[in-house]
Amino acid sequence: MSLEQQIMTEMKDAMKSKNEGILRSLRAIKAEIIKAKTEPGAGGEIDAATEQKFLQKMMKQRKDSLEIFENQGREDLAVKEREELQVIERFLPKQMSESEIKEAVAAIIIQMGAASPADMGKVMGAASKQLAGLADGKTISTIVKDLLSK
């Protein structure tokens, strides 16, 4: 079942159960699907990699907004962002834990022979490619920086 079909099925269920939080989140994902399909060169079809990219982008946007709302004491808005994060996470592969990311990045550093913070660009390129869809770029960057500075 494609992502679009999954979204439509879950939207129907959310409408029946009158769950506004889930429905709002699913509508946002559907809007991204439509946007991706209408972009030049898409030809009305999108592949799984494109789906993963825009879902990750949506996750990042929600996390950034959540952080801002929490810092400003806007719990009413933060609740909505948390609801949307939970729904979007259901359609993404399970994210790696920080220890798993450290392990993978350490292996990449050894494999590339990186020894100093000057090699961060090389390591980030390889790590981002290898961990795409499984870890947040900001987390990868922090771990790479930490491991190369030791």
**Percent of the chain whose pLDDT exceeds 70:** 99
List pLDDT tens digits, range 75-85: 999 999 999 99
27 vs 117: CA distance, rounded Å: 43
Domain range for 40 is 3-89
108 vs 90: CA distance, rounded Å: 29
25 vs 7: CA distance, rounded Å: 10
Task: Please report, for the domain that includes residue 136, its CATH number.
Answer: 1.10.10.410
List pLDDT tens digits, range 13-41: 999 999 998 999 999 999 988 888 888 77
Q: What is the mean pLDDT of residues 133-146?
A: 84
**34 and 53 part of one domain:** yes
pLDDT score at 99: 87
pLDDT at 9 > cutoff 90:
yes
pLDDT at 1 > cutoff 80:
no
29 vs 144: CA distance, rounded Å: 31
Task: Please report, for the domain that includes residue 41, its CATH number.
Answer: 1.10.1510.10
The total number of structural domains that make up the chain? 2
To 10 degrees, what angle do helices 20-38 and 3-17 make?
150
Here the tokens at position 24 are: 């709002």
Here the tokens at position 13 are: 């269920």
Contacts of 65 (CB under 8 A, 6+ apart): 77, 81
Q: Where are the alpha helices (H) located in 18-47, listed in sequence order?
A: 20-38
**83 and 102 part of one domain:** no
- pTM over the 0.85 mark: no
5 vs 145: CA distance, rounded Å: 40
